[in-house]
Amino acid sequence: MENEKTKTIRAVIFDWAGTVVDYGCFAPIYGLVEAFKAFDIDVSLDTARQDMGLAKRDHIRKLLATPSVGEGFRTAHGRSSTENDIDAIHQHLEAGLLVRLRDFAVPIHGVVDMVSELTSAGIQIGSTTGYTRPMMDVILPIAMEAGYRPQVVVTSSEVPTGRPAPWMCFENAKRLGVYPMDRLVKVGDTLVDVDEGRNAGMWTVGVIEGSNLLGLSRSEVITMKPNDLELRKEHVVEQMMSRGADIVIDRIVDLPDAIKSIEQRLALGGRPGEGQRELAQA
């Protein structure tokens, strides 16, 4: 039997946009706004950010179910939306993203070195995403060329149900050959990332800077008044903690320290979703 003091994290499952690529998670936001605009429906950037992390078809369905977007559709088309409309908007979104994603596929600064540190410590790297496989076929070669090479990539189109269901995480664990699930950490920038990790029985780590929840570009983070930025960050922390994140880190490069904290909890018999939650300060 494994000694409690030697318990270690064996794999990290990363989200993609807003976590390891696409600082601020802008590609899917712009894509959604443009896709709805093609059907004469105005969707604000803030509204598009709601429920980010879902499979793209599910995200479209959720947006159409919101009062403002649903009313916008009825005004433009004289009826309520149907599954055929969801299909049509999704097709438009996918076509637009297949072009746009090339500009948002380079890893966020520090990600490659951080992942190298993890793999040097014997930690395997997997990933889940709300993108479809054709979308990832655009992103993955660019990210790999830049040095980010996860061992496993599971997309929402390859499992029965995307986030917040745990199936993509389970598929990662299976392909990586890692169990029990408390030896894996889910890292992401959205609330459904936290839900996904918790539903899979994993440790969950939320990221603030670069996240969809913060919704700021790198230049906006740099130039924003410190007090204003701190207030926005505090709101992100509150949302992630209330959703059940075990740790919230300021930047993705802070992850190795968060993993050390998790391993300390494991050594003391801690389990995901139980006990102290933590904000890891940079």
Q: Give the active site residues.
A: 15, 56
Q: Report residue 94 as tokens.
A: 């996918």
Show contacts of 43-50: CB within 8 Å, 24+ apart.
Answer: 43/69, 43/72, 45/215, 46/215, 49/25, 49/212, 49/213, 49/215
What is the token pair recorded at 61? 């369905």
Tell me if 246 is assigned to a ligand binding site: no
Would you mind telling me the total number of residues written for the chain in this entry? 282
Question: What whole-number distance in Å separates Cα of residue 80 and Cα of residue 72?
Answer: 10
CA 55 to CA 164: how far, in whole Å? 9
| Residue 250 counted as an annotated binding residue | no
Place of tokens 């879902």: 54
Peptide bond preceding 180 in cis form (omega within 30 of 0)? yes
Structural element, H or E, at residue 181:
none
Consult the annotation and say whether 189 binds a ligand: yes
Nearest to 139 by CA among 46, 15, 256: 15
Burial class (CB in 10 A: 0-12, 13-18, 19+), 65: exposed
Residue ranges of the binding site: 15, 17, 189
Binding site per annotation, positions for Mg(2+): 15, 17, 189
